[in-house]
């Protein structure tokens, strides 16, 4: 954080990105990348100072590790799919095929042809390219956050705190860290983020200390949600109860998404037991 935040501020200055809260979605990635790119190097320095192995943080690039990651990814992405299907069935969301939004915008531009100068068709990014980009980004973000929070931080606090206190501290720090980008507007999601952090910590314990399952779960949730947003697959339907579906752009304030997290945690506990 000590190195990443100044780097992010430098990116904001060079790119003339306004530091407003909450940070707009289109600005989050440029500001996050310096922090996330520096994290592995910082962990490597920390690891060498402590003479630790990467496996002590739950990282082991072997077949069991990847099997756990694939299983977690499938469970997480599948859970989001079920949640979306439920909202579609209840009419709270409506399905919009990939490219429909762009096609509608292009049609509107043609209607206003006298007002909007035409310079030829705008280049379109195919859904396949978007899917691959979102997948790689989700895997990278999930790995970095698991390495930092459920790996290095959990190990460090676990040396000085009882297990229950370490779990609470790691989950709360994970939740509060999101306020760096969302500011006070992100406060309603703090309980949900803390539950998410606890489920991911439970996943590491259930996997015998490996971060494979936690990484897969984290990446799967990020992938499913980001892909739906990137391809604009959903549009509003009839208003659903906020206490069930959550506040706009803050799904972890709703009972259904929170229930999905809790059910995932229960499933992880049951399988491990």
Asked whether residue 118 is domain-assigned, the answer is no
Proportion of the chain above pLDDT 70, given as a percent = 78
Give mean pLDDT in consecutive 10-residue pieces for the chain, a chain of 273 residues. 57 63 65 79 86 88 95 97 93 81 40 37 70 94 95 94 96 90 84 96 96 97 93 83 86 93 95 78
Express each pLDDT in 130-155 by its tens digit.
999 999 999 999 999 999 999 999 99
Position 3 scores a pLDDT of 52
Are residues 68 and 36 part of one domain? Answer: no
Whether 149 and 189 map to the same domain: the answer is yes
User: Which of 32, 51, 70 is where one domain is finished?
Assistant: 51
- The CA–CA distances, whole Å, from 80 to 19, 73, 242, 269 equal 31, 11, 18, 19
- pTM, two decimal places: 0.86
Question: Are 133 and 240 part of one and the same domain?
Answer: yes
Could you tell me if 69 and 35 are in contact, meaning their C-beta atoms sit under 8 angstroms apart?
A: no
Can you give the residue range of the structural domain that contains 174?
Answer: 59-113+124-272
94 and 10 in one domain? no
154-173 b/e with 16+ CB inside 10 Å = b? bbebeeeeeeeebbbbbbee
pLDDT at 89: 92
Q: Which pLDDT score is estimated for 115?
A: 36
Examine residue 119 and state whether it is found in any structural domain, yes or no: no
* pLDDT for 126: 87
Indicate if 84 and 162 belong to the same structural domain: yes
Answer yes or no: is 26 within a domain.
yes
Check whether residue 79 and residue 129 sit in a common domain: yes
- Do 94 and 193 belong together in one domain? yes
Tell me: do 67 and 91 sit in the same domain. Answer: yes
Does 25 lie in the same domain as 83?
no
Residue appearing with tokens 């790691």? 170
């Amino acid at each position: 954080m000590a190195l990443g935040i100044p780097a992010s501020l430098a990116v904001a200055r060079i790119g003339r990105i306004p530091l407003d809260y909450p940070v707009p979605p289109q600005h989050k990635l440029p500001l996050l990348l310096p922090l996330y790119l520096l994290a592995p190097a910082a962990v490597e320095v920390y690891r060498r100072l402590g003479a630790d192995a990467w496996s002590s943080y739950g990282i082991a690039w072997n077949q069991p590790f990847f099997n756990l990651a694939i299983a977690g990814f499938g469970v997480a992405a599948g859970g989001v799919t079920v949640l979306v299907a439920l909202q579609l069935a209840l009419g709270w969301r409506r399905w919009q095929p990939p490219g429909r939004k762009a096609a509608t915008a292009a049609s509107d531009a043609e209607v206003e042809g006298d007002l909007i100068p035409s310079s030829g068709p705008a280049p379109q990014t195919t859904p396949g390219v978007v899917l691959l980009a979102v997948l790689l980004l989700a895997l990278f973000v999930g790995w970095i956050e698991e390495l930092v929070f459920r790996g290095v931080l959990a190990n460090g606090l676990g040396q000085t705190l009882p297990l229950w206190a370490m779990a609470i501290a790691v989950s709360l720090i994970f939740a509060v860290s999101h306020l760096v980008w969302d500011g006070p507007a992100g406060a309603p999601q703090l309980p949900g983020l803390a539950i998410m952090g606890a489920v991911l910590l439970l996943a590491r314990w259930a996997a015998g200390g490996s971060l494979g399952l936690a990484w897969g779960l984290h990446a799967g949730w990020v992938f499913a949600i980001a892909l739906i947003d990137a391809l604009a697959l959903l549009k509003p339907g009839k208003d659903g109860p906020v206490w069930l579906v959550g506040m706009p752009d803050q799904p972890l304030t709703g009972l259904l998404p929170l229930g999905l997290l809790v059910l995932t945690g229960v499933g992880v506990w049951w399988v491990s037991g």
